[in-house]
Structure 1
């Protein structure tokens, strides 16, 4: 059991994997922010122009 707790410290790819995970998390947050901005702009545009067409 003691060897399992020490294993992540000696594996060479762990810092690289952590960096990839942080980058993926930041990319996902950016994707969500852009999606929310586009949806908000779409709704704002529809609400702004809703009274003009009849």
Structure 2
């Protein structure tokens, strides 16, 4: 029963830490573009751009 005096505050601290980390990642732009990187993988980058001669 005495272990609850340690586990309850520890679990509450872990929950608040997880919430803080989520909001920190959200504020830094971690979740802004979830679709773009997946579409960039599918784009074909094998084509080279035609080079213009230097004058």
TM-score (norm 1): 0.52
Displacement of 1:15 after TM fit? Answer: 1.7
Residue 6 of structure 2 corresponds to 16
Q: Return the index of the structure with the highest Cα Rg.
A: 2
> What runs of 5+ residues in structure 2 fail to find an aligned partner?
34-55
Aligned structure 1 segments of 4 or more residues deviating by more than 4 angstroms: none
Residue 37 of structure 1 corresponds to 27
Kindly indicate which of the two structures has a greater share of residues assigned to helix: 1
- Over aligned residues, Cα RMSD in angstroms? 1.9
Question: How many equivalent residue pairs?
Answer: 32
TM-score (norm 2): 0.51
Displacement of 1:29 after TM fit? Answer: 0.4
> What runs of 5+ residues in structure 1 fail to find an aligned partner?
1-10, 44-54
